[in-house]
Every structure is written in structure tokens, then in C-alpha cells.
Structure 1
């Protein structure tokens, strides 16, 4: 892992871990802030109605997911999966209808969007290793090249054997 990744991932994850711990410790307070978003989500996805009815439980679950995913991201373990979980939690929690100073609300929303952007970048960071899709695509291309090469070698060998057989046959028939 490069020095930049060693420093950047824990820094990026720290905000999510602290926020997640706060949600786990104070689920009622966090749940009340989540209630409008949970209601909106339940209006679009009726299956979420039981979750929207218990915002404190939802806040605790989201907080736990943020803590675990943040720690995994900080440690560089399952960075893509943990980053995607953090982006998902940001989508649910990041746009609360906060009352109060509009500049503070706007500043918090921009901060949340910035963190989500950073986590999205972390989710596509392969740490210098190619993705599974890239490896599969190149493995297929390499297999195709090897097959063409083997086919040419086989055709050359068969032609040589056919020439030898023809010469042998001419020798038998000619004598």
C-alpha cells in the first residue's frame, strides 16, 4: 500500500467512524434527524415502512454499518465494498431537512457531498492491481491469442506430416 493510501484512507474513514459511533450511542437523536428521509424512502419503497416506523433502530443500524465499513476502509480491507456502503449511508443520512442557519445546513451538505465523492474515488481505487473485469477481459484475449498460435503450430505440423506421408506413399508406390 502506498504512503498516500496509508494516510488518506484512515483520514477519509474517520468522519464516517465518528458519525457512526454517534449514531450507535445516541440512536434516538439520530433517528429523529433521519425520520424525514426514512419517510421519503418508505413512500417510494413501501417495503421500508417497518424501518421508517423505527427511526432509532435504523439510525443504530446505519451507524453500525458506518463504523464497520469505515474501519475496513481505514485498514484497506474490502475497500470497494466498504466505500460503497459508506456512500449508501451518506445517501440516506446526508440530506436531512435540518432546521437552522441555512449557511450551516448548506456547508454540512457540501461536506457530506465531498465525503461521498472521496469515498466514491476510494471505491474505484484498485491500489495498482487491475480489477476483476480487466483481468477477465485480458485473460480472454490472452487465451484467444494462445489458441490462434496453437492452431497455427498444429496446422504447420499437420502439413509437415502430410508431406511426409505423401513422400512415404510415393516411395511405396514408386518401388
Structure 2
């Protein structure tokens, strides 16, 4: 659909640009989010590898570039949108803490929070978009119902065939002469 070919690159461009900025200038990104600096530093200190806040920001930026590129190109768009959603969640919470502000600054941060939330909503829609194809869950459910229907049909067919065979056996026995019937009963009684 043409809409997806336009909408996905538009949505992805924000993350590619944001990721590029984070990779090139991680210190500016950390300074832009003062609340995140303490969190990133404590995360880096607890990591088993030697990390810094700048390295974490660069890694997240690189992930945004890759996932944004994949989303924009339409390669694994659902997975890319899911990754971008996870990477965007901290931004939604940390970039615009309107609950700590007052007056005009609060209004600006609230607008920023709503804008970031809207982008997150777009990512969630992109993550759920099956591009007109049934989801994996739907296909599995349909296959299960199809298999159950086939088994039911096979069982009905087997019962019908058994009834026909029983009627045919009775008709055959009815046509056999009396002496043969006696011999047949003797054989069946012994076996």
C-alpha cells in the first residue's frame, strides 16, 4: 500500500536523525536530559563491562539508526518498530517532565510529552501492522481449526464406511445357502 511506503520512512526519519545526533555528540544528549545522566551513570557502574554514559548513549543511537533504517526501508518493519518503541520509552518519560514544572515551562513540556507520546503511538501502530496479511496467531488458529475439521470429517467417513461394510456383510450372509451358513457359523464360533 502506498500509505505504508510514505508513512514508514517519515516515522523512521526522526529516529535516524536522533540516533545520528546521539552517535556523533553523546555528551550533548546526556546533558539534554539531566535526569537521565544519573541513571545512565549508575547503569554504567553496575554493568559487568567497563561502560560510560556516553557509550550507552552511542549504542542506543546506533540501534535507533539501524532500526529506523529498517523501518524506513520496510525490512522487518514490525520488529524495527518494536525496537524503536522500546528505545523511545525513556525519551517520553525523561525528555519532558512536565510534572516537575510550573507555568509556561510546564505547558511547553506537556506539549513535548504529548508529541513524544504520539510518536510512540505511531510506533506501536507500525509494530502491530501486518500489511494486510493475517497475523501469525490468526494463521495458527486457522490451521488448528482446519485440522480439527479434517479429523472430524475423516471420523465421519470412517463410521459411514463401517456401516456400509456391515450392511454388505449381512447381505452377503443372507445370500449364502443354508449349509454354508451353518459352516460359516461353526467357523466363526470356533475363532
State the TM-score, normalizing by the size of structure 1: 0.84
What is the match of residue 150 of structure 1?
Answer: 154
Counterpart of 1:86 in structure 2 is: 84
Point out the structure with max Rg over C-alpha.
2
Contact 1:13-1:71 within 8 A present in 2 as well = yes
- For the 8 Å contact 2:82–2:123, the answer to whether it is kept is yes
Deviation at 1:75, TM superposition (A): 1.4
Q: Indicate how the Cα distance of structure 1 residues 88 and 35 shifts in structure 2: closer, same or farther if over 3 A, else same.
A: farther
Does residue 133 of structure 1 match 2:137?
Answer: yes
Q: Which runs of 5+ in 2 are unaligned?
A: 181-191
Provide, for residues 76-130 of structure 1, a one-character-per-residue CA deviation record: whole Å limited to 9, x for no partner: 1111111111111111223325699444433322221111000001111000001
How far 1:173 moved relative to its partner? 5.9
- For 1:18-63, what per-residue CA distance to the aligned partner results, in whole angstroms no more than 9, with x for missing partners? 10111111112213345633645898xx798339x62111111111
TM-score (norm 2): 0.78
| Number of residue pairs matched by the alignment | 172
Q: Secondary structure at the match of 2:17?
A: helix
1:37 maps to 2:36: yes
Determine the structure 1 residue equivalent to 2:46: 49
Q: Distance in 2 between matches of 1:62 and 1:8?
A: 23
